[in-house]
Structure formats: C-alpha cells, structure tokens
Chain A
Amino acid sequence: MSPLDWWLLLAMLLFCIGAFGVLARRNTIVVIMSLELMLNAVNIALVAIAQFRAGSQGAGVLFSLFVITLAAAEVTVGLGIVIANYRAKRTVENDHFDEMKG
C-alpha cells in the first residue's frame, strides 16, 4: 500500500470512531466531541491527499483550513443549543429529548 492509503485508512478509522460516538453516546457534549473527531479525521485525509497525491495542487490544505473554521463555528452553535436545552430541561442526556414522536 502506498503511504496515502495508510493515511486514508487512519482517517477512515477515526471517522468511524467518531460516527460510532455520535450514534451510540447519550451525552450531547460527547456527541459534539465525536462530531469534531469526524471532521478532524477528514482533515487528516485532506492534508494527506494534498501531500501524497500527484497533481493535487495542495487544495486539500486550503480545504482543511476551511473545515477547521467551520468546525469551530459548528461547535459554537451546538454548545449554544445544548446550553439552551440544559436551561429548559436540566439535562444534556439526549434520550430525554422525546417530546415528539410518530
């Protein structure tokens, strides 16, 4: 396997760990951390592609800078929503969010 494949494998592994965290964990703070892990896994992939793939023009590095910024914005909005919910419900466990069904 080429070096790029190893890096992509690492990224995919981290991405799956993050995805598992989002799907399996109850605590919304941990869910947000898992979301960040997913985005950062992609960052590793992007930087690795820019480094190892011929003719990739370094766009991946640029892309990862955008992703870092967007991830920061996303976690800000997410934590804001979690805090607003905590004020109303006094909990951050997401199995308490079950007002609506059907």
Chain B
Amino acid sequence: MSGANNDVMVILPGVVVAATALVVFMADTLVGGRKWVLPWIAAAGLIVAAGVATAQWIDVGAIGSVWDFVSGSGSGLFGGGTAESGFASMVALDKFAYYCTLLFCVIGVLTIMLSDAYMKKRRDAMGEFYGLLLLVITGMIGMAISIDVIALFVAFELMSLPTYVLAGFIRGDERSGEAAIKYFINGAFSSAILLFGLALLYAATGQTNYASIAAGLNNLGADAQSGLVIVALVLVAVGFGFKIAAVPFHWWAPDVYEGAPTPVTAFMSVGIKAGAFVGFLKLFTVAVISAPEVWTAILTILAVLTMIVGNALALPQRNLKRMLAYSSIAHAGYILLGLIAVGAGNVSVGASGERVLDTSGSSAVLFYLGAYAFMNIGAFGILVWIRNRRAFRYTLDEVAGLARSMPWTAIAMTLFMLSLTGIPPLIGFWGKLYLFTAIVNAGMTWLAVLAVIMSAVSAYYYLRVVWYMYFREAPGVAPAGAGAAEAGAVQAGAVEAGATVAGAPVTVGAAGALETGAGAAAAEATLVADDAGPAVGSAAAVVIASLGVLVLGLYPSPLISAAQGALRVLLGG
C-alpha cells in the first residue's frame, strides 16, 4: 500500500489547498491593483479540494475506516479492507477524512465570503490573509487524515501557527496585537504540553502509529493503567483542552476572540475547534481506546467544568463578541460529550471476544461540528454585517431596536440565536439531540441532564439578544429626538429592505442618517461604518448560513447520514 502514487492520492485534497495558498501568495505580488481576484482564487481552491474529496468518497465506495481495527474486523489498521494509507502509515484515507475535508472546505469558503466586509478596507493585506487561512485549513485536513502522532503534531502546528498571525492581523491595533501575543503564548505552551504527552505515549509503547500504539497498550495489559500512560493521557488532554478552550484551559479564549478580527474569530471558534476535535477524536478512539477509563474520566471532568463555567461566564457579558466567545466554550463542553460517549459505554466485548465500537458518539460529534459551523459563522456574520453598515462596538445596547432598523438582519440573528440555544426545528436542536442521546446510551444520563440544564441556562443570554433587538428602543434617544431617530431608523430600514430586494448599493448617506438620527454612540464615535459599500460576500455568507440552519434543521437526514457514513464500521455494515 505504498508507492508515490498512493502517497499523493491520500493527501490530495490537502495538497490542493496548500498549493492554492502558495498561488495566492504569489498572485498577491503579481495582480497589482486587482486584489479582488485573491478571495476568488482561494475559494476556487477550496471548492476544487472539496470536489477531489467528494470524488474520492464516491470512488472508494464501501471501504472501511480506521475504526475497523478497533472493531476487531481484521489484523491491520484497515481490517481486511481496501482503505489506503500513505507515507509509511502516517496518513490514511477514509470516509471520516472525506467528511472532515468537506466540512473544512465549507467553513473555509464561508469564512472567505464573510471576510469580504473586513478585507475591503485592507486590500494590501489580502494575500496574507487568504493565504494564511488556506494554510490553516491544510493543517485541519492534516488533523483529519493523520494516523500517527508525528503527523498529528505537525498538522496541529500547521493549524496553529498561521492562526496566531491571523489573530493579530490588524497591525498597530493594540487589542489585535494583544490577542495575538496571548494566543501565541497559550497556544505554544499547550503545543509543548501535548508534545510531551505524545512523547510519553511513545515511551510507554515504543510506537508512534495509532494502530501500533493501540496494539502496544493491549500488550501491556494491566500495565496500560500505569503511571506513565496516565500522565501521558493527562498531558495530551491538557494540550487538546487548550486548543478547544475547555475549562480550566479557557482563559485565553475571550480575550483572543474579542481582540481578533471578527471573521477570524468566527473561523477560530468553528474551524480550529473542528480541526482539534476530529484530530483528537481519532487519537482517543483509535490509539488509546484500550485505556478508555483514563481518558474518559479526564474528559468528563473537562466537560462538566466547561459546560458550567462557560455558560455561567457568558451570562453577564454585554459585549456580543465576548458573549459568543464564552458560549463557544460552552459548546466545546457539549461536543466533549460525544467523545466521552465513545469511551464510556461503547467499547464492549463482542460474542467472539472482539471489541465492538459503537459509533453514535463519534458521528454525533461530526454532526454537531457541521451544525455548529453554520450557526456560529452565521452569528458572527451578523456582527460583521452590522459593522459593515454602521458604527458598531459589538455591544448588546447597540443591537437594541435592530428589528426596526435592519429587519432582515434581526430575523437572521434570531434564527442563529434560537439554533445555538437548541430550539427545534433548527439544526442546533438536532445536534444537541444526537450528542445527548449518545451520552445517555453510553450510560451517563446524569451528564445529559446537566447538559440540558446548561442549555436552558444558555437560553437566557441567547434570547436576551433577541429581546434587545425586538423589544428595546435604540439607545441614546432623548425624548425630544425620538421622532428624528425613528425617522432615521425607518429610512435606513427602508433603504436596507430595498437593497435586499433589488440588490442596489446602499448609500453611505443613509447609514449616516441613521447614525445622526439615532445619535448612536455619537459621543464616542471613533469607529465609523466601513464606507467601502455593502459587503455582498458577507451578506451572502449570512444568507447561506441561515439557509443551512433552517433547511438542514427541517431536513437533517443528509447531514446525519453523511456523519454516520463517515464512521461506518466494516463489520457492522
């Protein structure tokens, strides 16, 4: 199963994305003033990569997955199956990898569209932005295909390093620079801890390949519970916890999410989290599945703390970016339930002594990552869009009266908030349903009860946004000026509605009229609306995200079957 052809085939989607990144970097110096082509090149590269992954998915048909090894259907990593590994079993193709590649490409395209509003003002930095974004996505794809701790660590760093730069992308801005340095120090610290954990795992088993580590731990027998393995797993879990911002390793997240440019924040909260989750899902459920008690216990502690603290800290936030940052921490806690479900209940011994791995927990994780991508990118997209239309400091007070001034935006935001809360029939509901079902089936009902209670708590801060948008007047309106403010708001609303229908550009004057009329934050208005015209791409990203939340919510079966198909175990059909 080796040979140059196979090697390249295995990493082909990643190669396409990385090559596109290089093309973007080069094109940046060649296109002169026509920088607008760069996002199109980047998006085209991602679409080609997604196409390659889809073609491979169809081509390989009913192959097995890395989990076949765990299920005992064969002696090798792929059972007797036909799945392909490359580079001396460093990376492997399976449906799991395809699903993740597709998901990452969708996240990437949505982020590129979303950044339209933001990059319009920074045309000279477009090459770096899109190139680095593509490199992060390459790293994320690497996380999904790696089946060796060396490949995992390289992918982990490839995913992390460009993100540090993206977080500090607004040069000269103190908050952005602070976000970058905080993210860098915490990220590099967690990488080192993860690396030490992986090294100890190597010390315990003498192997770096997932399947060989699993076999090595099996051979250790009772020694698999030894101090060395436990310390290794704790360190790996700490490195992982940092990356997904699980409590108590979350302290960097709110500052970084607030200081980074909003499109980057959207990408970090969704993309980096998805990349980390799929990489460690594979590590935990393939390599160290023999010691499930240890890592399940560690992750359970993390999940409980993350759900409680994340939701509790989100409650008082009045800055929407910070609120979404803490809520993103809480969501990491929900997703952890899927991982715990794999370890807690589902590694049972079958009739003939083979290990049977139920995949419902893993597929719930994959489904939730897809669902979360749509609703969270959408929510951040709304912030980008409002910021594109008028002065906006991301505070709760500023969205008061939004239902009147920007009715469509308010409807979309309501959709995302309801979906994040988990209200049926939106996609967030199905995501939570699958996660909670998986954890109940794994026999940890108390964890599901806690998660449901915490979801109810989260309704407070999500629905408060909706309440402000619909039932609060715009702030700073003196009684005498109320008429003028309403006139301005109605005018701007009318213009926005017009723009939505006819696609006509909204004049800066109308946005200005709203600002003057409402007097919104005029006293401290060092921020002005981005005056580069309406960002069509950002609006389109929000529209696609809301369609995703709504349509996939009403008709979730394609995404569900994709998530389940990604994990189909050969033996069980």
Contacts and interface: CB of A to CB of B under 8 A. Distances in A.
Given A22-B185, A74-B161, A82-B181, A59 B191 contact: no
Contact of B180 (A4, A15, A57, A81): A81
Contact of B153 (A70, A73, A87, A89): A70
A87 B172 contact: yes
A41 B197 CA distance: 12
Interface string B188-229: 110111011001101100111000000000000000000000
A8 B203 CA distance: 9
Contacts, number: 133
Range for the number of chain B residues in contact with chain A:
35 or more
Given A45-B203, A78-B188, A100-B175, A84 B150 contact: no
Contacts of B157: 70, 73-74
B258 A74 contact: no
Given A59-B207, A66-B154, A102-B317, A42 B177 contact: no
**Residue of B171, B175, B206, B207 with most partner-chain A CB within 10 A:** B206
Given A35-B192, A62-B150, A77 B164 contact: yes
A22 B189 contact: yes
A46 B199 contact: yes
A56 B213 CA distance: 11
Contacts of A77: 161, 164-165, 184
Contacts of B200: 45
* Chain B contact residues, majority secondary structure: helix
A87 B178 CA distance: 12
Interface of A is mostly: helix
B259 A100 contact: yes
Nearest to A67: B195
Contacts of B255: 100-101
Given A22-B189, A87-B172, A80 B165 contact: yes
A19 B186 CA distance: 11
Contacts of A89: 174, 177
Interface of B: 149-150, 153-154, 157, 161, 164-165, 168, 171-175, 177-182, 184-185, 188-189, 191-193, 195-196, 199-200, 202-203, 206-208, 254-255, 258-259, 317, 322
